[in-house]
Each structure stands twice: as C-alpha cells, then as structure tokens.
Amino acid sequence: MAEQRRAATIALLARFESAETLLAALTALRRDGHRRIEAFSPYPVEGVAEALGFRSRGVALAALLLTLGVVTAGYFMQWYSAVIAYPYVVGGKPLHGWPAFVPVVVALGLLAAVLGAVIAMVVGNRLPQPYHPAFEAESFLRASDDAFFLLLPPDDDSDEARRRLSERLYTLQACEIEEVPRC
Amino acid sequence: MTPRHRSLLPAGLTHANLTRRISDLVLHRPSPPGWWIALVICSLLTLMLLVTMSVLFSHGVGIFGLNIPVAWGLPIVNTIWWIGIAHAGTLISAVLLLTRQPWRASINRFAEAMAMFAIVCAGMYPLLHLGRPELFYYLLPYPDTMDLWPQWRSPLVWDFFAITMYLLFTALFLYMSLLPDLATLRDRATRRVGQYGYAILALGWRGSATHWARYEKATLILAALATPIVVTVTGIISLDLSVSIVPGYHFTIFPPYFVAGALFSGFSTVALLAVLLRSLFGLRDLVTDTHLDYLGRMMLFFGLIVAYAYTQEMFTAWYSGEDYYRHVYVDRWTGPYAPAWWSMIVCNVVLVQLLWFRRVRRHGPAMLCLALTSNLGMWLERFQIVFTSTHADYQPANWDVNWPTVWDWAAYLGSLGLFGLLLLLFVRLMPLISMHDMRALIARQREERDDG
C-alpha cells in the first residue's frame, strides 16, 4: 500500500478540440482542487492564464526598474564625463548643459525598457528549455498548430488515481489522453 | 461581425489549413521562378555594393561626390531614406497592435522584416561615410587609454545611440513575433537540419498559457514603446541637420516633418512588398485588396502631412525675413537642383492625390506604381534637403555644385540589392505571415459569428 501512495511519476496530457472546451475543463479541474495544471494553446487564449490564477506583473516591473536604473546611470555617465573627467567648453556653453544630455538618456531608457521586457519574458518563462515532458507525446506536435492541451498529474501513482483522472478528463470533452513523464 | 471584418479572411480558413499553407511555403514548396530571378538580380547588386565598399576602404571617401561645401552627400541621403522606410514597418506593427486592428495580422510580419533590413542598410552608410570607419567605436563611451569621452552636445553622438537602439529594438521585436511561429516550424519540419535549426531558434517554446501571458505583456510593452522610439530616432536624425545654423537645415519643424516623411515612405514600401509578395506566393486571399485600401489611406494621410510641412517650411523661410533663408527656396525652385525639387513635388504632392479614389487604392498595380513614385519622391526630398541647403550658404564665395559620382550610385543601388537579398532569404526561411496572430484573428472571427 505504501508504495501506491507515492506521488505520481507520470502526468496526463489531454487534448481538446477548441479554446472553449479547454477553458471550461480548466475551470472545472481547478474547482476539483487540481493546482498543478499546465495549459497549452497555439495562440494566446483570453482567460486561461487568469483561470490558472496567474498574473504577469514581473515583465512590466522588470522593464520599469531596468529603465530607471539605466536612465540614472546614463545621465550620471554624461554628467561625469562632461563635467568631471573631460571638461571641455564648446561655444561658451555650460559644462553641465542638461538639455543636450536628454537625447542619449531617452535612447538608452527606451532600449532598457525593451531589453527589460524581453529578458523578463524569456527568464520568467524559463526559456530556453529544449526538453519538456509534453514533447514526448506524439499529439503534442499539434500544440503549435490547432490543438489545445492540459497537462496535470494524477493524485498519486496508483492505477486507480490515473483512471479516475482520465475519466474525469473525458467527461470534460477531452478528445485524446496520453501519458507523459511528470516534470 | 461587420462586413469589413469578414473581407479580411477567406471563408473556410481554419487553424489547421492556415498552418499548413504558411509553413509549407517555407518547408515544402519549391521557390517560384520569380524568386530565383529576383535572387540573382539582388545578389549581383549586393556584389556591386561589396566591390564599392572595398574600393571605398582602400581609396577613402574621395570616391564619393563629397566636397566642401556639400560635405554630406548621398550616404546621408540614403541613411535618412532607409530609416524612414524602417519606421513604418515598426509603426504598422505596433500601432495596429495597440489599437487592435484586425488587418494587422497578415501584414505585420513582412513589415517587421522590412524594418529590420532597412535599418541594416541605413546603419551601414554613416560608417561608410566616416572616412576612417575603423575608428567608429570612438563614439562609444568606454574608458579608453586616451582619456577621451564622446562629445555629448553633438547630434552625431545622439544619432549613434538612436540608430543602435533602433537596430536592437527592431531585431528583438521581430524575434518576439517570430518565436511562436518558429515552434510551429520546428514541429512541422521533416528534415533534420530544419528540425534542429528551428528548434534552437524556438528556445523550446511550447505555447504554455503562463508563457503566453508573459509574452503578451512583453509584446504590449514593446508595441507601446515603438511609437516613442520611432519619433525619437527620426527626430534625432533630423537634429543632425536642424541643430546646425545652415539655412535650409535650421528649422524647428524638422523632427515632425521627418517623422511624417518617414512614415509616408514606409507605408509605401509596405504596400509595395504586399503587392509583390502576395502575387509571388499566391496569398491574394490573405493579403486582400482591403489591406491595400487601408495602406493607401495611410499613405495619403502622411503624404498630406508631408505636403503641409513643405508649405510650413517655405512660409518659415519667407517669414524669417533673412535673405539667405529665402534664397535657399528660390534656389531650390530655379537653381541647379531644381529638377529634383519639382520631381519631388510631382511624386509626393500631386500623384498622391490619386489615393483619394477607392478604385486606385484597391488596385494592385496602381498601388505598386504609387508606392514606387512615393519612395522616389521621398528620396528626392532627402536629396534636396541635404544638397541644396549646403551648396549655397552664407558665404557666396564658397558656392559650388556637387553631384553624386558613379560610386555613390553603386553604393545606393547596392543597398537596394542587399535589402532585397535579405528579404528574399527571409521569406524562404521564415513564415511570411504571422501564424499566431492569424490564429487569434480566426478565433475572434469565429466567436463573433457564433454570437451574432
């Protein structure tokens, strides 16, 4: 018995025909108490991330923080080089002529915001990640085409739990279920 | 669902057959003969560019038609022109994303690719023009052994930062948009090299919902930043001219005027590519006449802003009451470069009026011709700004007439070839139409049909 209570070593990958059935199934499974669900779709489906209880604040925050840091550093660099390190009077203008420092700060700030957003997306998503257990499933090739998937582990390693979950998935209109190793 | 909406997508287009059509263009279908012909022509032109560059690096900038008083010649004209073309690619994709325009989905990919390759061409000229191109890194602020720093009051330093920033932004924006489509190609590739190549580029993208959430947030941020970036980049480039006190350069209207001109030529180039690529790859039902109609309206809108800017520029010159400023204009109309000015007016102000007609906007060949004349007109505009302003300024003793040399033209035509070559290779290696954006559009259309 003790062996059967072990945490699941496999997960079930269920394919759905449409975004609506995916969302309905996801909401129902969440209500059943499943928390370790991953959903896949070939295009962003509205409401799925919310149904998973996920909100992406990190991307905007990373972009903002990087921008603030780079803008400050960029202005400091110009001030330091023009006033302290290499004071050089051009046309009688003040050494600390801030309006002339603005274009470079703006360019650097915009670049920082872009880099911040992209890096936060890539790092937050743990990319690059060449292997994922879902890739073991033949049907998953369609995840980048026209099919929608849910990936979740059964309660434990027993055949009973596995069967219970797959029956539940079929009642939620899953078209096909494959077993993959658990991530 | 509005009828306008329906005409953007062919009936019966599903996720599966969209994926098959677009990815098969890359993975399975042989290149059409037109593609091979274009490839040969563009490769030869690129070769000419390489020859020009090697002659330039061995002989110096003297081979170009640059001299005092016209110290900035064709290389600068070309930089401004190419940057302008890049801008519409960025803006089309970004502004239409922010305003959720359904006609974006089938044209944003090649608009972004166009932006990427145009900026490569634009960024090349300032380096070629430097005279000592191997020292370009002096513009970078790095702690060097000479204790030198860049001169922050110089618009040329701003320019370097703006163009570098824009290049990186464009590359990231294009890659972000490609990422989910690369995963599709990875999953559908049948040959080893394709499977590995696209798998590496796709970074293991698997369409997870949390990934999409971060992806959409990041795309939104990039799109929101695109507008200030476009305005900043061309604005800063126009400051290269307007910060100087040369009559004909020194106008406060320059930044918005340059941005409008940039978007005018850029939308024209998108229309040009839309017509060419859809007939080359048989995508008439995805890139429809309605798309051309909208592009035509944007061309007309920015064309009219450009025409307005011309009147304001002339008014400012007259109103300044300064003899030299006024002379610049009289010289543009009657001087040695007058043909360029009048041709520009014909292209940018007169011919553009044809776009008021719906039938012209929806007619492929007509749009192709107007796109070509608009681009020619914008090139002439950059030409006359750069040449006529400096050839006769405050010192009449210095007045002189300079003309581009054979090498100038070789470098210009060569850059057209390079642009074409990169674009041709791109459409064979990457999906020409953004599949994930199209899927979302198809889904939205289906939803609306079910509701209504």
Distance (Å, whole) CA B159 – CA B255:
13
CA dihedral angle for residue B208, residue B214, residue B216, residue B217, rounded to 10 degrees: 170
Distance (Å, whole) CA B32 – CA B44:
19
Residue B304 within a domain: yes
Whether A55 and B239 lie within 8 Å, measured CB to CB: no
Please count the structural domains in chain B: 1
Domain regions of chain A by residue span: 10-55+133-181, 57-125
Please tell me the predicted confidence (pLDDT) of residue A5: 60
Determine the Cα angle at B422 with ends B90 and B262, to 5°. 30
Contacts of B220 (CB under 8 A, 6+ apart): B97, B98
Q: What pTM does this model have? A: 0.91
Q: Which B residues in the span 141-170 are in contact with A, Cβ-Cβ below 8 Å? A: 141, 147-153, 155, 157-158, 161-162, 164-165, 168-169
Nearest residue to B180 (alpha-carbon basis) of A118, A151, A43, A40: A43
Average pLDDT for B101-106: 82
State the nearest Cα–Cα gap between A179 and chain B, in angstroms.
17
**Would you say residue A120 has pLDDT above 90?**
yes
Rounded alpha-carbon distances, angstroms, from residue B331 to B40, B187, B201 = 42, 62, 54
Q: Which residues of A touch B213 (CB under 8 A)?
A: 44, 49, 54-56
Among left, alpha and beta (phi > 0; psi -120 to 50; other), residue A6 is beta
**Would you say residue A1 has pLDDT above 50?**
no
Contacts of B232 (CB under 8 A, 6+ apart): A103, A106, A107, A110, B162
Strand, helix or coil at A178?
Answer: strand
Residue B314 within a domain: yes
Q: What is the pLDDT of residues B57-67, one digit of tens each?
A: 999 888 998 88
Sheet holding A176-181, edge to edge: A38-40, A148-152, A10-16, A176-181
Report residue B445 as tokens: 């259309």
Q: Which B residues in the span 5-64 are in contact with A, Cβ-Cβ below 8 Å? A: 14-16, 19
Q: Comparing B11 with B354, which gets the higher pLDDT?
A: B354
Q: Which residues of B touch A35 (CB under 8 A)?
A: none
User: CB-CB: which of A63, A81, A127 is closest to B203?
Assistant: A127
State the nearest Cα–Cα gap between B144 and chain A, in angstroms.
12
CA dihedral angle for residue A62, residue A68, residue A70, residue A74, rounded to 10 degrees: 170
B interface test, pick of A102, A119, A125 with most B CB neighbours within 10 Å = A125
Residue B56 within a domain: no
Report residue B340 as tokens: 């360029």
Residue B407 within a domain: no
In sign, the C-alpha dihedral spanning B93, B98, B99, B101 is: positive
Residue B53 within a domain: no
User: CB-CB: which of A39, A121, A144 is closest to B215?
Assistant: A121
* Prediction ipTM score: 0.92
- B73: domain CATH number is 1.20.1630.10
Q: What is the pLDDT of residues B171-188, one digit of tens each?
A: 999 999 999 999 999 999
Report residue B227 as tokens: 């507008």
Contact assessment for residue A151 and residue A11, using Cβ atoms and an 8 Å cutoff: yes
Report the run of H or E that residue B441 belongs to, with start and end: helix B435-451
Rounded alpha-carbon distances, angstroms, from residue B273 to A71, A110, B119, B184, B368 = 38, 29, 16, 24, 9
Distance (Å, whole) CA B239 – CA B167:
19
The owner of tokens 């039938």 is B359
User: What is A10-55+133-181's CATH number?
Assistant: 3.30.70
Whether A113 and B152 lie within 8 Å, measured CB to CB: no
Q: What is the pLDDT of residues A63-94, one digit of tens each?
A: 999 999 999 999 999 999 999 988 988 888 89
Rounded alpha-carbon distances, angstroms, from residue B40 to B117, B138, B369 = 18, 38, 23
**pLDDT class for B451, splitting at 50, 70, 90?**
low
Residue B320 lies in domain: 63-140+150-402
Q: Which residues of A touch B443 (CB under 8 A)?
A: 19, 43, 45
